[in-house]
Structure 1
Amino acid sequence: MEQPTTSIFQRPVWVVIFALTAAIAWGWAFPLIKVGFNAFGITADMTGSKMLFAGIRFACAGLIVLSVAQTNGRSFQVSSKSNWWFILAFALMNTTLHYFFFYIGMSHSEGSRAAILNSLSTFLVVLLACAFFKSDKLTSRKILGCAIGFGGIMALNLGGSDSGQFHWMGDGMIILNAICGACSNLMTRGLSKRVDVFVGTGYSLTLGGVLLIIPGLAFGGSLPQINLLGIVCLVLLIAISAIGFALYNKLLSCNPVGKVAIYNSLIPVVGAITSCLCLGETFYAKYALAGGLAALGIYIINKGKS
């Protein structure tokens, strides 16, 4: 029988609900970013503007999370200078570098393709968690699931040039983004030991956002066209970040990393479908194959959990 004192973030049903909420929200970010770029007039060569756009999103999301944390009476205390350095490192990995690579990659790749390729992060987290945390055991089921999932990612490069091929500025940046995402997932456990996880999430988003805004402005970044569509996209992206990271980081802080990260399998599915529907992108047959293999890999891994 479940103990009454068990946190809601550790109860199986709520773990599923919260993790899927974050995953579905992040899946919608793929088309929203591209629509936002178009609405604000940000083109593929405007690196500074992309950094500014991303920085505003995350800085605002972080301030929202901090405001909610303060309203709920959560502790903002950080006990030592070394803990502040850890929070800064987490902000750089989880927000600044993670989304610098992501936004650059998104402007050079189709949203549906990027969404599937981004699932690499999920499988990296599963494998790395087994290496760093005793609570995550490496099993034959996990190995099989990751192998099938990686096969799905490789399937993206099947076919000729007319069906989309690997490009460093697109796919390469998304891969670097996935690596940063996987590493920051592992760092979340350490964050929760140094500061309240909601406060730490707010700090990391705010600091990471500011560290995107400053170089973005230095590189001449701006939002060339201010209009209602762009503002709506930006507001939705801010909400996605605030809700998604607050829920996800709290789940990571009190559950085995692999158990939570595995639900991110829904991100490539939602991202690919919404990108094709909202952006009118061509949905190649290999996308269905890649997405199906990624989902199968996730299912195999998840099925083995108690």
Structure 2
Amino acid sequence: MMRELFVHDRSVMTPQKSIFQRPVWVTVFALTAAIAWGWAYPLIKLGFGEFGITPDMTGSKMLFAGIRFCISGLIILSIAGVTKREFKVRERSDWWYILLFCMLNTTLHYAFFYFGLSHSEGSRAAILNSLSVFSVVIFACLFFKSDRMTANKVIGCVIGFAGIVSLNLGGADSGRFSLLGDGMIILNALCGASASLLIRGLGKRVDVFVGTGYSLAIGGTLLVLPGIFLGGEFPMVTATGCLYLVLLIAISTMGFTLYNKLFTCNPVGKVAIYNSLIPVVGAVTSCLCLDEQFQIKYVIAGALAATGIYIINRSK
């Protein structure tokens, strides 16, 4: 009887987990964000076409990206204001950390992404971007004591990188490495992985919801200004193009809000694993929406990437 009472009392005193820490909801939220981000690949290229933005129009690409993220950030900050979130940053010096996060998470991250995507097939870029998943695993082991390098992680990363390398094998054109295409996507992936490690620190300096809004609004502005300076413009504006832009804004608003919150409540690797779905969705939707030729190497690369991620995250 006393044992039953003890067990009952202990269960009552156990703090209830946040919805963002419950396994089922972590899966639901992370999958929702990953699937939405996968659709960004074809939507960006379709948006460029509707606005008349060609691969050589650097300023216009920065302007397009900046408007997307700036509006997304302002929406998040508006919601934060309505829900009476705390906007105050803990210390003045913390603004330098927030600015660094803005640069990595938004400005540099998406400058590289938009440049690379305009010089590469959406399906190829989507799978190549899976490099960020393995980069997060490696970086987490280097900077977080709670994440230790294991044999599973080494094997998983090797297999995953093999999938990325397989993209550059095959035909003379489709297999050729491009600095403006593949190179920019790789830099984008590394910026995204680095930003993922900073999210937990961001949550210690400001409300993570507000911090996400700051990141997108400030980072977007830092894309708009040089875009205008470089002569960025939209040669034509169509209703369909505006629809694509609205969808991209919605993807950013939902995706970053969910992921940043999940990263502050769970181990980095546990959440990052779901990014492996982004290349799959991106490759398939790009082939469907952009009439890109589907290649068997995409299946091989996707299978190797998924296998590597499974090995890294499987239980002992």
- Which TM bucket (shorter chain)? over 0.9
Unaligned runs of 5+ in 1: none
Q: For residues 57 and 163 of structure 1, what CA distance do their matches in structure 2 show?
A: 30
Q: Which range moved further: 92-101 or 66-75?
A: 66-75
Q: For residues 73 and 282 of structure 2, what CA distance do their matches in structure 1 show?
A: 23
Equivalent in the alignment of 2:306? 295
Equivalent in the alignment of 2:7? none
Equivalent in the alignment of 1:31? 42
> For the structure 1 residues 304 and 143, does the alpha-carbon distance in structure 2 shift closer, same or farther, using more than 3 Å as the test?
farther
- The letter of the residue matching 1:277 is L
Equivalent in the alignment of 2:253? 242
- The letter of the residue matching 2:136 is V
Q: Which range moved further: 64-73 or 226-235?
A: 64-73
On the 8 A contact 1:126/1:262 being kept in 2, the answer is no
Are 1:218 and 2:222 matched, yes or no? no
Q: 1:139 aligns with which of 144, 150, 164?
A: 150
Equivalent in the alignment of 2:137? 126
Equivalent in the alignment of 1:180? 191
Alpha-carbon displacement from aligned partner over 1:233-291 (angstroms, at most 9, x marks no partner): 10000000000000000111111111111110000000000000000001111111011
Equivalent in the alignment of 2:273? 262
Q: For residues 91 and 260 of structure 1, what CA distance do their matches in structure 2 show?
A: 20
Equivalent in the alignment of 2:3? none
Q: For residues 313 and 248 of structure 2, what CA distance do their matches in structure 1 show?
A: 29
Moved over 2 A (4+): 1-5
Q: For residues 4 and 24 of structure 1, what CA distance do their matches in structure 2 show?
A: 32
Q: For residues 117 and 204 of structure 1, what CA distance do their matches in structure 2 show?
A: 25
Are 1:80 and 2:71 matched, yes or no? no
- The letter of the residue matching 2:83 is N
1:164 offset after TM fit, Å?
A: 3.5
Equivalent in the alignment of 2:111? 100
Are 1:62 and 2:73 matched, yes or no? yes
- The letter of the residue matching 1:130 is C
- The letter of the residue matching 1:143 is V
Are 1:110 and 2:132 matched, yes or no? no
Q: For residues 185 and 50 of structure 1, what CA distance do their matches in structure 2 show?
A: 24
Q: For residues 81 and 251 of structure 2, what CA distance do their matches in structure 1 show?
A: 20
Q: For residues 50 and 304 of structure 1, what CA distance do their matches in structure 2 show?
A: 43
Equivalent in the alignment of 2:209? 198
Q: For residues 270 and 149 of structure 2, what CA distance do their matches in structure 1 show?
A: 12
Q: For residues 207 and 231 of structure 2, what CA distance do their matches in structure 1 show?
A: 36
Describe the SS at the equivalent of 1:9. coil
Are 1:233 and 2:244 matched, yes or no? yes
- The letter of the residue matching 1:292 is A
Alpha-carbon displacement from aligned partner over 1:84-143 (angstroms, at most 9, x marks no partner): 111111101100000000000000000000000000000000111111112222221111
- The letter of the residue matching 1:113 is R
Q: 1:46 aligns with which of 57, 61, 70?
A: 57
Report the TM-score when normalising by structure 1.
0.97
Describe the SS at the equivalent of 1:161. coil
Q: Which has the larger radius of gyration?
A: 2
1:71 offset after TM fit, Å?
A: 1.8
Q: For residues 18 and 159 of structure 1, what CA distance do their matches in structure 2 show?
A: 37
Q: For residues 75 and 248 of structure 1, what CA distance do their matches in structure 2 show?
A: 20
Alpha-carbon displacement from aligned partner over 1:155-190 (angstroms, at most 9, x marks no partner): 001112143321000000000000100000001111
Equivalent in the alignment of 1:9? 20
Q: For residues 116 and 149 of structure 1, what CA distance do their matches in structure 2 show?
A: 11
- The letter of the residue matching 2:204 is K
Unaligned runs of 5+ in 2: 1-10
- The letter of the residue matching 2:232 is G
1:4 offset after TM fit, Å?
A: 5.2
Q: For residues 164 and 227 of structure 1, what CA distance do their matches in structure 2 show?
A: 35
Q: For residues 142 and 304 of structure 1, what CA distance do their matches in structure 2 show?
A: 12
Q: For residues 78 and 253 of structure 1, what CA distance do their matches in structure 2 show?
A: 17
On the 8 A contact 1:141/1:304 being kept in 2, the answer is no
Are 1:19 and 2:30 matched, yes or no? yes
Aligned length: 305
Q: 1:89 aligns with which of 91, 94, 100?
A: 100
Aligned-pair RMSD on alpha carbons? 1.3
